[in-house]
Structure 1
Amino acid sequence: MHLSETKTHLLDQVRDYHHAAQPPRPFIPGQTPIWPSGAVLDETDRTALVEAALEMRIAAGVSSRKFESAFARKMQRRKAHLTNSGSSANLLAVSALTSHVLGEQRLLPGDEVITVAAGFPTTVNPILQNGLVPVFVDVDLSTYNTTAERVQQAIGPRTRAIIIAHALGNPFPVTEIAALATEHDLFLIEDNCDAVGSTYDGKLTGTFGDFTTVSFYPAHHLTMGEGGCVLTASLELARIVESLRDWGRDCWCEPGESDKCLKRFKYQMGTLPAGYDHKYIFSHVGYNLKTTDIQAALGLTQLAKLDDFCAARRSNWRRLRAELDGLPWLILPEPTPRSDPSWFGFVLTVAPDAPFSRAELVSFLEDRQIGTRRLFAGNLTRQPAYIDQPHRVVGDLTNSDIITEHTFWVGVYPGLTEEMIDYIASSIREFVKARG
């Protein structure tokens, strides 16, 4: 059998295996787990992984470059650089702003970066890791995002940047905050890890700032198993990110390429001897944060399904919101005005004066196999990792504290059926009516 025929035969067997390994299973209320998030994988995904493995593409290569190009077009940015995680994407985006290449615009230790107190640690960690100072502001309940007014009040003489996540897929008022960034000559990073496909003022989130970051962890809109991406419209910023991601090297040749600039042995940098091999000249203190072609192969098949995934998230969220509307003692989520979120989850806050606690409601749902999650770290300033870290707080963090004490979320990801969504809603209604 010819090699290509052998490959075709193997991939046909992979498809058969997929259907045998994942037969349809009925939903049994109270027994079938309803996860709050998860990857939705079909035969095309499994086949892509196996095909990439057959080709032995074990490092970043053709699939990685193809995905970066396709994803940049989809997200309406000029450049996209794959990373090994969304957390690394945030690290690269913030670190790039400290690059010497930016001259007087670069961020220096002690400069301030505005962010929100209620969120995920890896939005804030790169600020501290680069010797910068996070400035925390509060958020609104129901949208779980901050406001332009809060950000405006937080701008001080050492403020140089803003990094905020679109909370659970719900856009923050990014038009207004981007305008503030322009007015005050600040960099803006959109943490878009939970919000791929969301729009604000009719524009995709991630198209307003200097950088946008994305995660491909299984919980997110697309998955590569692990992985992330940094996107930008600036070729200068993209080049810095590439250098930082690829060990800090100055060379831009892809692995396996040499002398694209036609002067590989003609550079003189630092105090190196003239003609030092450009492939081994390092212009940044960088990392190795690349991904692999096998992951990118999965990303390409996932990307083809992104619009359907986003539509399913929106549909599940609307169904759950309609079924819970008017229920007492719960603060229901609201989309930010002028936005169309591609929701990551359905967030609920138990009113502080409710006759039951979040813990009691969460326990009831978990006993019914309905998975729940906190709104990540709650008020980060109360977490042990951050208590002694340098930071500044502007205004009170009342709502961030309420989130810490009273908020959780349930899933709306595309793997959930209408039957599952209805069971989540009926379970919440049953609990509230019995306790209230």
Structure 2
Amino acid sequence: MTSDTKTLILEQVRKYHQGSGSAVSFVPGQTPITPSGADLDEDDRVALVEAALDMAIAAGARTRRFETALARALGLRKAHFTNSGSSANLLAITALTSHMLGKRKLVPGDEVITVAAGFPTTVNPIVQNRLVPVFVDIDLTTYNTTVDRVAAAIGPRTKAIMIAHALGNPFPAAEIAELAKERGLWLIEDNCDALGSTYGGKPTGTFGHLATQSFYPAHHITTGEGGSVLTADLQLARIVESIRDWGRDCWCEPGEDDKCARRFKWTLGTLPPGYDHKYIFSHIGYNLKSTDLQAALGETQLRRLPEFGEARRRNWNRMREGLLGVEGLLLPEATPGSDPSWFGFVLTVAEDAPFERRDIVAELERKKIGTRQLFAGNLTRHPAYHNENYRVSGELTNSDIVTERTFWIGVHPSITTEMIDYMVTAIREFAHGSR
């Protein structure tokens, strides 16, 4: 394909986008307001089509550019693009079991402190690596755990902490990172819901030894399906890359040979001297890579991260101001010292409210206002974990309250001021009518 032909096609793609994106007026009670959703523009469509024209069906130059841009955006040294945020969490935990870490590696039976009220894929990699989750409770204002709860959970077999920033609201990351340093523990930040949030002026995802991101369409930027593991530690980055890429020892890009200039000079394991380094495996790994098609979308989306964060903050603040004083509902609060790029607006029905969660959720859904529960609520109450080995530190009272009385609604960038005001009115009218 000539460059002129490609240019013509991409010009037509822009025209197509401009012609197909006619604005649809918001009709209260008829137009659905989704709790989450991707905001895709003309540049996103062009980037995807250009990658398709180039037949960029595997990880290549676009992936490397996206990884570099993402790491730079967070001020970290390395980002490794994966096929999902869930895979990113699996990679992060599995990396800490590597033999390359010597005495610091995690071994079966070691404990990892995590939060009971969260999403399963923060916890599942702990179980999948035959480690023991230690569940702690949360507060009902920030929906995050506290330093005191984490400190009280540390036992003789505790080796790591893995916590997600709840709905974009940072947990006290600096303090927990300091606690981890004092006690010799690894810290993994599940930053999947919080890209663009800051704590103490520092981006979330930069406090731990490793951080993970999700780029599913619900998240702050999207690649369709995708995720990433980030770190400032080059040894951990090397381990993550190996486990992501089949467990191989070689670090050449696909289609690249002899980057180390020693391809046939390695002697590892009990292999014959000079065995091809491209086929030497140092970890029990996976293939969790993504493609340049996804990375192309990630590049254009990442440029809009500040715009997306501004919209999420604006919508969340307007929602909270509009709901102040509503009886029967507990409103969320930002963690002190933080500036969240909010994933959603969370509400908990008060114990003495004249209505239950199912009542208000049914009314909002009837009015085309999409709702979601706070993910799994208390994970220990789910059948998937009934026969698994875990430990609970303290009581999970607030995690149970979340399971029974909490839900959230959207504040993503595609939600307009008119939609926020409609949601506020719907909630206020419901609460007032229930008295």
Alignment TM-score, normalising by the size of structure 1: 0.99
SS of 2:384's partner is coil
CA offset at residue 207 of structure 1? Answer: 0.8
Q: Distance in 2 between matches of 1:267 and 1:353?
A: 69
Corresponding position: 1:18 with 2:28: no
1:86 alignment partner in structure 2: 85
Partner of 1:233: 232
Q: Does 2:107 correspond to 1:108?
A: yes
1:183 aligned onto 2:182 = yes
1:16 deviates by 1.2
Q: 1:302 maps to which residue?
A: 301
1:358 is matched with 357
Alignment match, 2:126? 127
- Secondary structure of 1:363's counterpart equals helix
Residues 371-415 of structure 1: per-residue CA shift (max 9 Å, x gap): 000100000000110111100001000000000000000000001
Alignment of 1:217-256 (within 5 A): 217-256=216-255
Counterpart residue identity of residue 106, structure 2: L
Give the corresponding residue for 2:156. Answer: 157
* 2-structure distance, mates of 1:339, 1:260: 43
Unaligned runs of 5+ in 1: none
Q: What is the aligned partner in structure 2 of residue 51 from structure 1?
A: 50
Could you tell me which residue of structure 2 aligns to residue 345 of structure 1?
344
Q: Which whole-Å deviations, capped at 9, do the CAs of 1:184-219 have from their partners, x for residues lacking one?
A: 000000000000111111111111100010000000
Match of 2:393 in 1: 394
2:120 is aligned with what amino acid? Answer: P
Question: Do residues 422 (structure 1) and 421 (structure 2) align?
Answer: yes
Q: Secondary structure at the match of 1:40?
A: coil
5+ long unaligned stretches in structure 2 = none
Say which SS state the counterpart of residue 194 (structure 2) adopts: coil
SS of the aligned residue for 2:385 comes to: coil
Q: Could you list the per-position Cα deviations for residues 328-352 of structure 1 after superposition, in whole angstroms to 9, with x for gaps in the alignment? A: 1100000001111000000000012
Instruction: Give the counterpart letter for 1:410 in structure 2.
Output: I
After TM superposition, give the deviation of residue 142 of structure 1 in Å.
1.4
Q: Which amino acid aligns with 1:358?
A: R
Instruction: Quote how far apart the aligned CAs of 1:270 are.
Output: 1.0
Give the Cα separation in 2 of the matches to 1:419 and 1:326. 21
**Mapping of 1:265-304 within 5 angstroms?**
265-304=264-303
Find out whether 1:141 has 2:140 as its counterpart: yes
Deviation at 1:5, TM superposition (A): 1.3
- Structure 2: which amino acid aligns with 1:345? G
CA distance in 1, matches of 2:74, 2:383: 36
Deviation at 1:232, TM superposition (A): 0.2
Shift of 1:310: 0.4
Q: State the one-letter code of the partner of 1:432.
A: A
**Which residue is equivalent to 1:98?**
97
Q: Give the whole-Å Cα distance in 2 for the aligned partners of 1:398 and 1:72.
A: 38
The structural deviation recorded for 1:21 is: 1.9
Quick one: distance in 2 between partners of 1:25 and 1:291?
Answer: 34
**Counterpart of 2:208?**
209
SS of 1:260's equivalent in the other structure is: coil
Q: Secondary structure at the match of 2:345?
A: strand
What SS class does the counterpart of residue 26 from structure 2 fall into? coil
For 1:103 and 1:364, locate their aligned partners in 2 and report how far apart those are by CA, in whole Å: 56
1:366, CA displacement in angstroms? 0.3
Q: CA deviation at 1:20?
A: 2.0
Look up the SS of the partner of 1:385 in the other structure. Answer: helix
The equivalent of 2:65 in structure 1 is: 66
1:91 alignment partner AA: L
**Counterpart Cα distance in 2 of 1:288 and 1:50:** 25
Matching residue's letter, 1:295: Q
Q: What CA deviation, in whole Å up to 9, does each residue of 1:142-180 have, x standing for no partner?
A: 100000000000000000000000000000011111111
Look up the equivalent residue of 1:120 and give its one-letter code.
F
When the two chains are superposed, the root-mean-square deviation of aligned CA atoms in Å is 0.7
The 2-side partners of 1:316 and 1:366 are apart by: 19
Aligned to 1:60, what secondary structure does the other structure show?
coil
Structure 2: how far apart are the matches of 1:234 and 1:3? Answer: 43
Runs of 4+ in structure 1 deviating by more than 3 angstroms, as ranges, are none
Which secondary structure state, in structure 2, belongs to the residue aligned with residue 314 of structure 1? helix
Residue of structure 1 equivalent to 2:260: 261
Deviation at 1:8, TM superposition (A): 1.0
Aligned-partner Cα distance in 2 for 1:229–1:178: 21
Alpha-carbon distance between aligned partners in 1 of 2:332 and 2:144, rounded to the nearest angstrom: 11
Superposition map of 1:292-331 within 5 A: 292-331=291-330
**SS at 1:410 equivalent:** strand
Deviations 1:199-254 (A, max 9, x none): 11111111110001000000000000000000000000000000000000000000
Structure 1 counterpart SS, 2:383: coil
**1:33-44 alignment, distance < 5 Å:** 33-44=32-43
User: What's the secondary structure of 1:136's corresponding residue?
Assistant: strand
Distance in 2 (CA, whole Å) between partners of 1:372 and 1:204 is 28
Q: Which residue of 1 aligns with 2:194?
A: 195
In the alignment, is residue 383 of structure 1 matched against residue 382 of structure 2?
yes
TM-score between the two structures when normalised by the length of structure 2: 0.99
Q: Give the structure 2 partner of residue 171 of structure 1.
A: 170
Aligned residues: 435
Distance 2:178 2:261 in 1: 42
